[in-house]
A and B are shown apart, each in its own frame.
Chain A
Amino acid sequence: MSSAAPLQELFDRGRRGERGALARLLSVAEAGGAQAAQLDALCAAAAAPRARSIGITGAPGAGKSTLTAALLGVARNADQRAAVLAIDPSSPLTGGAILGDRVRMHQAAVDEGVFIRSMASRGQQGGLAQAASLGVRVLEACGWPWILLETVGIGQVEVEISGRADLVVVVLNPGWGDEIQANKAGLMEVADIFVINKADREGVAQTRRDIEGAIAARPGGQQIPVIETIATRGEGVPELWQAIVERHAALDASGELAVRRRARIAAELESAALSALRGRLAAAMAAEEGVRLRERIASGDCGIHEGVATLLGNIVRD
């Protein structure tokens, strides 16, 4: 990965359709920091046509990668170009990661109409969602009309990432009643479409009932599609694609999409601001003034509340 080429030039090349340039832009987005901020500004200025972004999430083992691969196939048959951001967790201990989603997408391996990028969480809780959001904007700026955001797991971070997409697909397997009950991170609330994958197994009907029970209380809960698929055989996948296209169009037409995007911007802004604040707070605490402040509080010269005011003042000032 080289940043020798000025970012603007790289951006222009990416916008012209150069895949290598796009790939490097995504690396810049992943790395965060000043360059990413610059890239963000370029994306905003480019005002590219909006892409349709779909989050695909669910517990490990649900078959998301296979399903995503199958969806790509259907999209391509419908002559749609699509990009995939496949996000996997990094090891919290070593910072490394094994990213294996591409393996299942070998049908798309040399298709010019598909772009697959593996992204690791890099242990940055808030930062990952930021990197993913920026990644989506970069892909959008480079002309990709459909973006699939595939995340593993159903923790807070994964749900947040999915929330950065226009529409969320939650993938379950038959017999996962407990998962539905547990409703981790509010997954049942964010889903726009449910998929019961591996639908050749037992327990499909019960799982469908469990889902319907869990979303009954949601406004518009009745309208949420629950689609059965057998991703390894491609069964149910055209129906899923159709549901995605239709739901997205409906959200757009009703104005809901615009509402969500604004909410997303607010969420992203808050998240990014908090992230930045956290950084500045740490720096302020570690700085000479911060250390002296702590000593003064410890020796009773200054109360905590006064200390907070001083610290915040320092942060704003610097």
Chain B
Amino acid sequence: MTTAPKRILMAKTGLDGHWRGPTIVARALRDAGFEVIMVGMVTADEVVRAAIDEDVDLVGLNIGGHVDVAERAIAAIREARPELPIFCGGVVPPWAKKRLEEKGVEVYPPGSQLPEIVDAARRLTRWQAD
């Protein structure tokens, strides 16, 4: 394989320590050949720092609480690296999902199947030039 693996940052916007969901997604992405950089529970500033320093190709946010918190992180990432794609998962009510989708962020609520998420990761990182 001559192309370098794509790098995905996985971060949690809430202060909720449940790890099962992000871990399962991280493993599925690893098994699909991605490098998954896990940063745990981070603020907007922290996720931006990691997105820059790790030169990632995609950011995955796990939302455990209010969508406003996630939106702050999204806005900060977009300011620092406007071209960087972002997708989310986690417990969000339908109205919050719509709000995020209107902002161009794909949302994968509980019950989303792993192949769907992996396909999304492939698609979102495909147009990053090598």
**Residue B29 at the A interface, CB < 8 A?**
yes
Measured as residues with beta carbon below 8 angstroms from the partner, the interface class of chain A is 35 or more
Q: Which chain A residue lies CB-closest to B47?
A: A109
Q: Are B130 and A3 in contact (CB under 8 A)?
A: yes
Q: Which residue of B lies closest to A96 (CB)?
A: B30
- B39: nearest chain-A partner, CB-CB: A102
B46 within 8 A of A: yes
Q: What CA separation (Å) do A96 and B57 show in the bound complex?
A: 14
Residues B130 and A1 in contact, CB atoms below 8 Å apart: yes
B61 in the interface, Cβ–Cβ < 8 Å? no
Complex-state Cα separation, A303 to B45, whole angstroms: 66
Interchain CB contact under 8 A, B130 and A96: no
Minimal beta-carbon separation of B36 from chain A (angstroms): 5
Q: Is the CB of A118 within 8 A of B37?
A: yes
Of the residues B2, B30, B49, B55, contact of A1 by C-beta under 8 Å: B55
With known contacts A2-B128, A102-B38, A122-B5, A94–B55 Cβ distance under 8 A: no
Supposing A23-B54, A116-B53 touch, asked if A102 and B37 sit within 8 A by C-beta, the answer is: yes
> In the complex, A27→B57 CA distance in Å?
11
Q: Are B36 and A27 in contact (CB under 8 A)?
A: no
Q: Of A33, A90, A116, which contacts B35 at CB under 8 A?
A: A90
- B5 surroundings in chain A (CB, below 8 A): 90, 95-97, 120, 122
Q: Residues of A contacting B39 with CB < 8 Å?
A: 102-103, 106, 109
Produce 1/0 per residue, B23-52, CB < 8 A to A: 000110111111111111111011001101
Complexed CA–CA distance, A314 and B49 (Å): 49
Complex contact A96–B129 (CB within 8 A): no
Interface hits, A90-148 → B, CB 8 Å: 90-91, 93-100, 102-103, 106, 109-110, 115-118, 120, 122
User: With a CB–CB cut-off of 8 A, which chain B residues contact A293?
Assistant: none
Contact digits for B108-130, partner A, Cβ 8 Å, 1 yes 0 no: 00000000000000000000111
Residues of chain A having any CB pair with chain B under 8 Å:
1-4, 19-20, 22-24, 26-27, 30-31, 33, 90-91, 93-100, 102-103, 106, 109-110, 115-118, 120, 122
